[in-house]
Each structure stands twice: as structure tokens, then as C-alpha cells.
Amino acid sequence: MRLVSLSPSTRADAMKGLTIVDDEQVTALTPWPDLIDAIRDAFRQGGVSPARHHHSIPGNDRDDITLLLMPAWNQQGDFGIKLATIAPSNAALGHPTLHGGYVLFSGATGIPLAILDAGALTARRTAAASALASRYLSRPDSKTLLMIGTGRVARQLVAAHCSVRFIEEVRIWGRDATHAEDAAEHCSRDTGVSCVCVPDVATGASGADIISSATPAESPLLRGEWVSPGTHIDLVGAYKPSMCEADAELIGKADQVFVDTMEGAKDEAGDLIQAIEAGVFSFDKVAGDMYRLSSQEASLRNQSDEITLFKSVGTALQDLAAAQLCLRGY
């Protein structure tokens, strides 16, 4: 599908019509350097992103589907809302787990300006937020990346991390070997970096400088005993208290823990919530959020052998920044 304008397509007439931006166009309009900086600037300037609505849609022959509603507005005036579904069972069917749309409105008139593919928008902004955190928390000499997961977000995370560090080898692990091989081929073409599959997470974690995880796991895939000093951990997948990608030992041994937002982390960051229940962590130990990260000009890593950790559950302010970047580039 191509970019379509439903009214005269000059930029001056944008207020009179609605622009439809599909997944390919979202990708083309959000190059990594620009998107990472746009998200940084959005947090520097501040904005409002109310707690998102979660609704669980039960099913008899599939996992429950989560319906999300995520509004946000900022100092630039425009505002928007994402309507998205997360269907974990889609992975087995070969479909993306996230689908939906993002509606961007004019702050001056309330007129809808654009509808954007929310699957691509979410994957891109999620990966860009992780890359922004890596810019401040991973070692500048990081060369090896382990990617746990093989889906759309995982593939975007590989590219985003490679855009902020000179990665020489990407290791990919997934439950399905065929999906892992496909992801490795895709990521190698996309980044020009050598991407190899690993037989298990422990092997992939050995000596890795950055470990990123984007899965719907409900039990730990990554264990603290496998993580070396100096590693940066990027946890993206667990978005419910019942979900968990990293064990409590890893959360407890991390020297610095950052989150995207404190409110979201307290409600949804399963890895952290379960570590608290295990008695090895508390939210008082969180060093900061994306507002603090984005205010920095230099690394927040204190020592080269620190284990740093960024836990993301997503925030509507990231969606808004990505949508505004798309429309500026149109």
C-alpha cells in the first residue's frame, strides 16, 4: 500500500484532509538517528501521557488479546491516540503480534491530520527508545549484541542498537529455530552486520556486551549467572506483572536500573515486579527514567564493569514523537 492523501496533498492543505501512512512509509519516514533524537527531544520538552487503558479480550482457542488505548499530547501542540491489539498467539500463525492504528490530531483545531500503521510505529519507537538508553548506558566499545526474540520488535531492536554502537556480531536466539534463522538473515541484510543463531540463551549471553530481549515470556529466559560484568541489559517484552524475561538474580545484581516511566514500570514491568516479590529489588533502586536519560549529554555509566539495565514497557509520548516525525517528513 502506498501513502495516500484523501484531499489535495499539498502540505498547506493538510488540515483539510487525512493522510494515511502505511507500515513501509512509517519505516521510511523514521530513520534511526532522527527518530532517536525525536524521542530524546520529546522527553526533554515534556508532555502528557495519561495511564493507558488495558482491556483483555478472552478467547477459547487462543491466548487473550490485549486492547490498548494510549493518548498523549505535548508542547508542540498536536496530540494523538494509539489503538492497538497485542495477540501473542499470532506468532504461531506467522502474523505480527501487534496491530492497530495511530490517529494524529491538530492541536489548533482538533482536526485529524493522519492515521498511521501502529504496528510499525510501535516497533520503531520501542527500538529507538532502547537505542537512546543504550547511548547513555552501554559501553561505547560494545561490539557484541545478543537478541532474544525473533519478531518484528526484535528485528527493529537489532537495527536500532547497531545504529548507536559499532556492533560487529549479532547473536540471535528464538524458541523456533526456523524463525531465528529467518531473523538472522533479515537483520544481516538490514544492518550489514554478521548475524548468527545461537543454540541457547546461556551461550549467546557469554561475553555479550549488550543483551536485548523482546518476547512474551512468562518465565525467565535470561539468568543473572550468565551475565558478565560490563553488560548492558535491554528488557522490552514483559508488559504485564505476570510476564518476565529476566530472573530476579539479574535484576538484583544490576548496578544501575533505568525505566522508561516510573508509573508504567510500577504497574506493568513484570521483571521488576517479580524481583520485588522475591525480595531482591525495590523501586527506590531505580536510578531514573527517560526524562533523566534524555536530559544528559554524556554517558551515565560510572564504571566499565557495571551491569546497567533498561526496562521498557512503552509510553504514548514515544508514539506521539514518532508520529509527528512521520508527518514532518511527508
pLDDT at site 89: 82
At 242, the amino acid letter reads S
CA distances from 132 to 135, 148, 299 (A): 5, 19, 11
pLDDT at site 16: 57
Q: How far apart are CA 152 and CA 290, in angstroms?
A: 23
CA trace torsion 48, 255, 162, 316 (10° rounding): -10
Q: Report the sign of the C-alpha dihedral through residues 274, 46, 116, 2, in that order.
A: negative
- Give the mean model confidence (pLDDT) for residues 95-102: 87
7 pLDDT higher than 50: no
Helices 316-329 & 32-45, crossing angle to 10 degrees? Answer: 130
Percent of all residues in the chain with a pLDDT value above 70, rounded to a whole number: 95
- Give the mean model confidence (pLDDT) for residues 52-61: 82
pLDDT at site 284: 95
Percent of all residues in the chain with a pLDDT value above 90, rounded to a whole number: 77
Give this prediction's pTM. Answer: 0.90
Q: Which domains does the chain have, with CATH numbers?
A: 4-121+318-329 (3.30.1780.10), 134-314 (3.40.50.720)
